[in-house]
Amino acid sequence: MSSSQFSDPVVRQSIDTIRLLSADAVEKANSGHPGTPMEAAPIAYLLYMKHLRHNPRNPDWAGRDRFVLSCGHASALIYSMLHLTGYELSLDDIKNFRQFGSKTAGHPEFRHTPGVETTTGPLGQGVAVAVGMAMGGQFLAQQVDAELFDYRTWVICSDGDLMEGVSAEAASLAGHLKLGTLNYIYLDNKITIEGDTGLAFSEDVGARYLAYGWHVERVEGENLAEVDAAMERAKNDSRPSLIIARTHIGQGAPNKQDTAGAHGAPLGKEELELTKQVYGRDANVVFDIPAEVSAHMQQCQIRGAQLEADWQQQLDAKQSSAPVNSWLALSRGELPTGWEAGLPVFTPEDGAKATRQASGAAINGLAEKLSLFLGGSADLGPSNNTTIKNAGSWLPGKSDRNIHFGIREHAMGSILNGLCHTPGLIPFGGTFFVFADYMRPAMRLAALMGLAPIYVMTHDSIGLGEDGPTHQPVEHLASLRAMPNLTVIRPADANETSEAWKAAISNRRGPTVLVLSRQGLPTLDRQKFAPAAGLHKGGYVLASEQGPLQLVLIASGSEVQHALAAREALQQEGIGTRVVSLPSWELFEQQDDAYRRQVLPDSAPRRVAMEAGSCFGWERYVGQQGRIIGMNEFGASAPADELMEHYGFTAENLIAVAKELID
């Protein structure tokens, strides 16, 4: 499509159809945001019809460009585009906008609607995820094949996206890394829900992005030739690009254009009828798609099929290449034979090891077996032990397997999601466990989408010591365990840590959090106790009772050692005591009822759980007759051993509580 064709009446008619189809969907649902789809219609038209490399008949081919509608409240826009260009989204789906079971949810959802690349809704997440997508593309281009993976990542974003702090973190890193395949189109409509953006937002956005190292242009959003030329220049710039399009929310609505009234509610019957008259349409006809518009926009399928066929031909010619062959297998979810052999095995002779140290050894062992395994930390690599020793650093213009996210935990979480959207990649990111608070929105979206980033979170309890309560995670285990489809694993020693990594790599259905200690923990004698492979069932009998079972001690992480010491003392007094290591509630709950009752039998109601964190939730495992040794307050600044003793995380306290329970 050339710029000379912009004067064709069917082009303008197509753009108006996008506007009104979106407005009709919102009106019928009596819920949604019509204004942004109406203002963004020309830009979306240009993207899908000319600039975006995509195939509506196969939304997931790996060589396609990526498109993120970061302002997810404008979901009616992407649904209209998907339907009109021939994706598997029917007009009935458009009519069922925001209804139960419909493909057209209130915000775009990944794996729910064909053609939606990522779930957006929380503002700022889309633009930040797009940075990860662009990084993933750069990595594949430089590490696998430059011709196959020269795709771009396009984003339509709003004032709200650029106000949220996560977007600043992500844009700063994108500019630093010179991600030239990343293009934002910012709808500068100067309206938010509360009114004019001048109420709270008066900065020069363009100057800010120039300072980040971006290419910045300003255009009129209704001027197709201007927008088209800016998109072409963006594609030829080595920097990430921000195109600031001056647009008008609710474009064409005679009484609501440029007002907050076009933002978060339907236009209303009368206003929508007047708007249709502005665009020369029958005010009484809804969901109107003129035949010439349908024929024109369905041409995307012909263009897309050819683009994919050309790419597939390239792929077929390159399959004998080792990097391409390896990528193909990993992109299908096939891990190489023997990948687990990279995981270290530890013996008691190795002495006490912090589980963060054991994790570092596991990362390096896995990196030798998994070519597309990559990650890093939010400036905490030496402490999180996340550095891949035989790999280089990801630097401006040059990708590698060690990513330096900088002190940007918010963005790191979102970028990991973007990397997970890149077929074949297995990304991880590290920080202190307490900073999961910064990453929570991205972690929640990963769980919602079924993405599989691996979070390496160290300094897991008050056992980190002197840094004090600001850095001591107390409530974090409980809060993350409450999140659906998130697997939390807190290993008890070095070998459980290796098995935790095995579980994380094997889990491609959702994110995994590895919760690791700062302090050294004894490496358990697996000749004496059960194998660490029991971790894969979430909970297992680590040490069996001698004689009739009278008491069950349950613990995770650094407290398991105390449970074992307490068991030994209690057994000497003739109290048949079992120790259950319970590193992952989620994995344990996936086991059948018979297994769970075997580990925690109904015949043993006297149970004591110990964990250096919130007591919340442990009731499910100790029952009405049990006791919980945990924390319902914040910690303090002191040496770790002193803190553990003060708060009762010792074998002696466990013995005392157990005896009270027995008595």
Three-state helix/strand/coil letters over 634-658: CCCCCCHHHHHHHCCCCHHHHHHHH
Q: Which residue has the higher pLDDT, 7 or 484?
A: 484
Residue 1 has what pLDDT? 66
Output the average pLDDT for the chain. Answer: 97
Active-site positions? 409
Mean pLDDT score, 299-328: 97
Amino acid at residue number 169: E
The token duo for 412 is 């790191």
Residue 579 has what pLDDT? 98
> Would the pLDDT of 560 be above 80?
yes
C-alpha closest to that of 510 among 574, 465, 445? 445
> Would the pLDDT of 2 be above 90?
no
Residue 6 has what pLDDT? 83
Question: What gap in Å lies between CA 623 and CA 294, rounded to an integer?
Answer: 62
Asked whether the beta carbons of 1 and 49 are under 8 A apart, the reply is yes
Mean pLDDT score, 509-513: 98
pTM of the model: 0.98
Kindly provide the b/e burial profile for residues 305-328, where b requires at least 16 CB atoms within 10 angstroms of the residue's own CB. eebbeebeeebeebeeeeebebbb
Dihedral over Cα of 43, 48, 51, 54: its sign: positive
Three-state DSSP class for residue 348: helix
Q: Cα-flanking dihedrals φ and ψ of residue 245, to 5°? A: -100, 115
Mean pLDDT score, 494-523: 98
Q: Is 255 exposed, middle or buried (0-12, 13-18, 19+ CB in 10 A)?
A: middle
Question: What gap in Å lies between CA 603 and CA 549, rounded to an integer?
Answer: 8
Dihedral, CA of residue 532, residue 536, residue 539 and residue 544, to nearest 10: -40
Domains of the chain and CATH, by start: 18-307 (3.40.50.970), 339-515 (3.40.50.970), 535-662 (3.40.50.920)
Question: What gap in Å lies between CA 292 and CA 10, rounded to an integer?
Answer: 7
Q: Can you say whether residue 285 is alpha, beta or left, with left for phi > 0 and alpha for psi between -120 and 50 degrees? A: beta
Residue that has been written with the tokens 């990513």 in this structure: 403
Asked whether the beta carbons of 541 and 565 are under 8 A apart, the reply is no
Question: What gap in Å lies between CA 386 and CA 140, rounded to an integer?
Answer: 21
663 pLDDT band (50/70/90 cuts)?
confident
> Would the pLDDT of 3 be above 70?
no
> Would the pLDDT of 167 be above 80?
yes
Mean pLDDT score, 148-170: 98
Residue 608 has what pLDDT? 98
Question: What gap in Å lies between CA 118 and CA 129, rounded to an integer?
Answer: 8
> Would the pLDDT of 7 be above 90?
no
pLDDT 10s digits, 590-599:
999 999 999 9
The token duo for 195 is 């009114």
